[in-house]
Amino acid sequence: MINKIGLSTVLIASLAVSINAKTYSQADMDKVLQRLDRLEKALEIQQEQTTIKINKTNIKMQKIQASNEEEIEALNERADENEFHATMNRIKWGGEFEVSDNYVEGKTGSIPQFGMTGTEYSDNNKWTTKVRLSMEAKINDKTKFSGRLAMYKNWSDSSGANISDSAEGRKPSGGSGLYVERAYVDYSFSDVLTMTIGRQPSSDGPGMTLIENTQRKATYPSLLFDGAADGLVLSAKLPTILNLKPTIRLAYGKGFQNQANYTPYEANTMAIEDLNVYGAFLEMNLPFKSMGDNLLVFSYVKGTDFIGHPQQFSTPSTNSNLGDMDLAGIYFENNKAFGTKLSYFASIGWNMPDSNAKTVTLRDANGNNMPPMALIKDNGSAFHIGARYDFNNSFKLGYEFNHGSKNWFSFTSGSSDLLNKLATRGDVNDIYAIYQIDLNQFIRLGYTMIDYDYTGSGWHIGTSMKTDDYVNRAYGVYNLRF
């Protein structure tokens, strides 16, 4: 491009050549200079227009570049989002929300043998909230993870109640914290053999499904075991015999483990052995089509080296291993029996202690030492029966009864039942009605009457004595599942 000075130079040079060749008048010279000025102005205008076009092009290029960067960023975000959704889609979530209102009255501390008449009490309009978040992820064709987080609290209670490991998330804890109630992996070695390891599905088992208005959610009959538990289970499908398709389960777990919080594993200064639990379960469905859906379970559990109490460590010299105990049980249920609207179950259990005669000294609520106590010495037994009639899809009426003998004991300290009725050494009557609002939510109204025949319900230590204690509970429950 010829700039202004160059153009002038060319024109003047051309003019000089022309002047040398020919003489021009002043008027002719003025015309030439005017023409030169016009050319210079035209060149300036052209340069300005060129600059404007270049600037517009640069702006357009910047917009294109910015747009490309936005598109790239959007693609990256979309890729991250897709990756997140792909991960979340591998996890199936579910949940449960429950609120209850409870009215309780009873008597405690009565031992006629010692002339103790006991104290009557009432505790009315007590509200609780329970939340459960369930998750499940299929890792591959052989591996699946399952978990459940749980919160269970009394309204406006933040006292931080001290509860046992098996009851975390299953009894009001005094706070609104979430506990890991279940966390286990199922690994299938084959179509026949499966291993389940971790925090087991050991709560709210058979015997609780009718009153809880749910399908089977746990492995073990609730009369023998109800609570959170850590362990390993091998499940094997046995060959079909007489049209029976039995499954056997071999279990190992810890009822108590001497933890590093108190003493290192390498230096067990407390000299207290772990409570190991071994179990064998055989379950099957009876092959009678007319009977309908049914389940039969035979159970055997052995606990070794029971201790006095897992949470009392301030005086280790008073805590010790007290002996072993065996439990056995038979459970049967029949849902929609013979095509009717009636479902029922029956469960029976036995406990057989083997005390080593050692004793433990525990403290009462005031911090005072209680008399030395040994593992219960005599065998115990219990049974639990129940039925529910579904009048239609909306209304269901049920009744349950259980009885425990003088020395009955089983692993139910982690039960979510506020009264732990299946541990009762005496009689329990429980009647309830369920109104199904829709597929996801229902209301249950119930009344529970417990008449204790002997003291020490739920305890594996001490001498059980006659008592006149009782508890009556009226309650209402709203439950939502999603």
Q: Using an 8 Å Cβ cutoff, are 123 and 104 in contact?
A: yes
pLDDT in tens, 65-90: 777 777 777 777 776 666 656 666 77
The Cα 271–Cα 140 span in angstroms is 44
Closest residue by Cα to residue 445 from 436, 454, 453? 436
Residue linked to tokens 């009647």: 431
The Cα 482–Cα 476 span in angstroms is 20
Q: Using an 8 Å Cβ cutoff, are 280 and 246 in contact?
A: no
pLDDT in tens, 16-28: 445 444 555 777 7
Q: How confident is the model at residue 314 (pLDDT cuts 50, 70, 90)?
A: very low
DSSP string, 149-215: EEEEEETT--S-----GGGTTTS--SS---EEEEEEEEEESSSSEEEEEEE-S-SS-TTSHHHHTS-
CATH architecture of the domain with residue range 95-481 = Beta Barrel (2.40)
The Cα 152–Cα 173 span in angstroms is 7
- Poorest-pLDDT segment among 79-93, 395-409, 456-470: 79-93
The Cα 141–Cα 340 span in angstroms is 38
Output the CA angle 228-350-342, nearest 5 degrees: 75
**Quick check: helix, strand or coil at residue 293?**
strand
Distance of CA 369 to the CA centre of its chain: 37
Q: Is the pLDDT of residue 210 over 70?
A: yes
Q: Using an 8 Å Cβ cutoff, are 423 and 457 in contact?
A: yes
The reply to whether the predicted model has a pTM over 0.85 is no
- Poorest-pLDDT segment among 204-218, 299-313, 407-421, 468-482: 299-313
Which residues does residue 225 pair with via DSSP β-bridges, in sequence order?
411
pLDDT at 170: 63
